[in-house]
Amino acid sequence: MKPEFKIISDLIEKNASVLDVGCDDGILMEFLKENKEADIRGIEISKNKVQLCISKGLTVIEGNAEYDLKQFPENSFDYVVLGQTLQAFINPEKVITELLRVGKKAIVTIPNFGHWKVRLNLLIKGTMPITSSLPNEWYNTPNIHMCTIKDFVEFSKIMNFKIFQSLALMNKKVTNINKSNLFIKNLFGELGIFLIEK
Amino acid sequence: MNIKQNIKTLIVEKPLKLDCGQTINNFPLAYETYGSLNNDKDNAILVFHALTGDQFVTGINPITKKDGWWSYAVGPGKSIDTDKYFVICANVIGGCMGSFGPSHENPKTKKIYGTDFPVITINDMVNAQVNLLDFFGIEKLFSVVGGSMGGMQVLQFISNYPDKAKTAIPIACTSSHSAQNIAFNELGRQAIAADHNWSDGNYNSKNIVPDKGLAVARMAAHITYLSKKGLQEKFGRKLQERDDLKFGFDADFQIESYLRYQGSVFVDRFDANSYLYITRAMDYFDLVKQFNGNLSDAFKNTKAKFFIISFTSDWLYPTQENKDIVIALNAVGANVGFVEIESDKGHDSFLLNVPDFLKALKNFLDKSYTEKIS
């Protein structure tokens, strides 16, 4: 289980309705079902992963979040979760707008491109950074819109959504991000976790 | 051959008002069951058959002596596990395997109905079959399942009886028959009507059958059940028991021979008038229109858990039409899962050995059953 799943779960109330966008193998869904008795649905692009979720008894729709979120009416879910995939969409602006339309709240996690290892990698080697959380080469990475924690905070102002809570994950420890520590968190946070609302 | 001795029949006494306005009662509904109903009566699955199917889902069909039409999916240890579930399937009304249909005698005229049989709809079929629940004393089915026209019956069933099933699995179907669907059905009907033996539907009294017309209808329909790729891979331009073209109109190509065979075996087991009536019922199916353009309203009262399945190479009921059902269900917050199965076997994929499909079906049913969802 990814370390941020517990953190995501802590942001969600019991019995909430949740849509996990890009639910992968359904591990977060199972966790939320068990721990939060959440009414949980998933949307997943990979047929194999959908099959895996079905074998776990999870309700999953095969689909592409970029096009298939539009089928859900406004405020269909209490929470919509988007885990580490915002950077892989062709149009992240559209996806964020859709998340906040479909969900009353959204939880978005992003691999932080501002992490010092990433910065150092580019600075010293002069090649596109490859780290444990970003293992692909530039030419085969699905991550076409990488951003930093700071970028995402800026993005909230541009896109006009509210950040309720922002957390940084470093060494499996979670800390709050605020205005005064943003520089530090953006340098040392491996992952940014944001609870947002329109 | 005495067909009747192998066919279980429920005589439905309760009057059924058909969509065409006529009311029928005391009509036969032929059915078959597999597995056994448990004490809680919570393990029953109603399977709906497609256009040319019948109640003999699995095992050896006692009439045709061939494997049941869904033998890959239904049986002991299979996706629809008859060791676990009690499977019920009825021949649709309008059909020709024992249920009230155009080959039956009209009690008023003492003549075979033929085209005097009332035009029936998917709604009528479902309303006839719901009587089986009372017959078996089943309050709520564990699942309603069906592919193609069977899937349409699943949708109609849930719409008519929103709390009579815990789960619903419409496979490779649509909520509204498209112009292309209607066009292919009309081609089949016209092929039957063009056979002189059809005699405006009165062939029974003359002891003849419009077998040529019905065979052509079947051949045309059969092409629509397969994919171009599947056909090309299976037959290509292979020749039928000959080394070279014969410069004539015999079946030079294997595909021709195959289609002729499919047509010829079909006429032995199917009634031409039934073919007309059932294709008509499919064409009239438009659940969207039934709910004044809003398909979601068909499902707003149900708590059933849905699982929609489509196939990549199905161009008769393509993925998008199946997805439209998913969208309508999501709009009313229904519990719906969806998967498109990769297969080059076309629309027929749901009837064939497509492991990904069979696996998904099994997993969904077995997991939902252990959940004991209400």
| DSSP assignment of A142-169 | S--S---HHHHHHHHHHHT-EEEEEEEE
Q: Can you list the alpha helix ranges (DSSP code H) found in chain A?
A: 4-10, 27-36, 47-55, 65-68, 92-102, 116-120, 149-159, 182-188
Q: In chain A, pLDDT over 70 holds for what percent of residues? A: 100
Q: Considering B99, B148, B310, B368, which one is annotated as catalytic? A: B148
Name every residue whose Cβ is closer than 8 Å to that of residue B157 and which is 6 or more positions away in sequence: B46, B48, B126, B129, B130, B144, B164, B165, B168
* Per-residue pLDDT, A46: 96
Catalytic-residue membership of B148:
yes
Helix (H) or strand (E) holding B224: helix B211-225
Say whether both B198 and B271 belong to one domain.
yes
Whole-complex ipTM: 0.92
* Per-residue pLDDT, B6: 84
Say whether both B90 and B188 belong to one domain.
no
Q: Which of B338, B342, B358, B374 to mutate to test the interface with A (most CBs of A within 10 A)?
A: B338
pLDDT digits 0-9 by tens, B157-179? 999 999 999 999 999 999 999 99
For the four alpha carbons of B261, B262, B268 and B273, in that order, the dihedral sign comes to: negative
* Per-residue pLDDT, A133: 78
Say whether both B199 and B319 belong to one domain.
no
Name every residue whose Cβ is closer than 8 Å to that of residue B213 and which is 6 or more positions away in sequence: B191, B192, B193, B194, B195, B197, B198, B272
CB contact under 8 A, A54 and B367: yes
Say whether both B242 and B356 belong to one domain.
no
Calculate the alpha carbon distances from A166 to A148, A149, A176, A179, A195 in Å. Answer: 13, 9, 6, 10, 6
Residues of chain B with pLDDT under 50: 1-2, 373-374
pLDDT digits 0-9 by tens, A59-73? 999 999 999 999 999
Say whether both B241 and B97 belong to one domain.
no
Residues B63 and B131: their CA atoms lie apart, in Å, by 24
Q: Considering B124, B314, B344, B348, which one is annotated as catalytic? A: B314
Catalytic-residue membership of B368:
no
Question: What does B239-299 look like in DSSP terms, one character per residue?
Answer: BSS-SS--SSSS--BHHHHHHHHHHHHHHHH--HHHHHHHHHHHHH-BHHHHTTT-GGGGG
Domain boundary among B228, B255, B279: B279
State the amino acid at position B159 in one-letter form: S
Query: Could you tell me how far CA B358 lies from the centroid of its own chain?
Result: 18
Residue B89, φ and ψ in degrees, nearest 5: -140, 135
CB contact under 8 A, A54 and B364: yes
Domain count, chain B: 2
Say whether both B228 and B336 belong to one domain.
no
Biggest CA pair distance of chain B: 66
Helix or strand or coil: residue A101? Answer: helix
* Per-residue pLDDT, B374: 45
Which domain CATH number covers B219?
Answer: 1.10.1740.110
| DSSP character at residue B130 | T
Residues B151 and A154: their CA atoms lie apart, in Å, by 49
pTM > 0.90: yes or no = yes
Residue B152, φ and ψ in degrees, nearest 5: -60, -40
Segment A176-196 shows an average pLDDT of 97
Say whether both B240 and B343 belong to one domain.
no
Are the CB atoms for B184 and B337 separated by under 8 Å? Answer: no
Say whether both B226 and B262 belong to one domain.
yes
Which domain CATH number covers B83?
Answer: 3.40.50.1820
Tokens of B33: 């069951």
Say whether both B161 and B222 belong to one domain.
no
Give me chain A's average pLDDT, please: 95
CB contact under 8 A, B339 and A47: yes
pLDDT digits 0-9 by tens, A73-86? 999 999 999 999 99
Name every residue whose Cβ is closer than 8 Å to that of residue B8 and which is 6 or more positions away in sequence: B30, B31, B32, B33
Tokens of B266: 């079909």
Say whether both B19 and B84 belong to one domain.
yes
Hey, how many other C-beta atoms are within 10 angstroms of the C-beta on B152? 29
Domain boundary among B225, B253, B279: B279
CA distance A52 to chain B (A): 9
Q: Which of residues 53 through 82 in chain A touch B, CB cutoff 8 A? A: 54-63, 71-73, 76
State the first-to-last Cα distance of chain A, in angstroms, to the nearest integer: 29
Are the CB atoms for A156 and A162 separated by under 8 Å? Answer: yes
* Per-residue pLDDT, B283: 98
Tokens of B299: 């499902």
Are the CB atoms for A149 and A189 separated by under 8 Å? Answer: yes
* Per-residue pLDDT, B3: 59
pLDDT digits 0-9 by tens, A90-138? 999 999 999 999 999 999 999 999 999 999 999 999 999 998 878 899 9
CB contact under 8 A, B339 and A57: no
Domain boundary among B226, B245, B279: B279
Are the CB atoms for B168 and B338 separated by under 8 Å? Answer: no
State the residue range of the domain holding B338.
3-177+288-371
Q: Where do the domains of chain A lie, and which CATH numbers do they carry? A: 4-197 (3.40.50.150)
Q: Quick one: closest CA in B to A70, which residue?
A: B327
Say whether both B274 and B302 belong to one domain.
no
| DSSP character at residue B46 | E
pLDDT digits 0-9 by tens, A136-158? 999 999 999 999 999 999 999 99
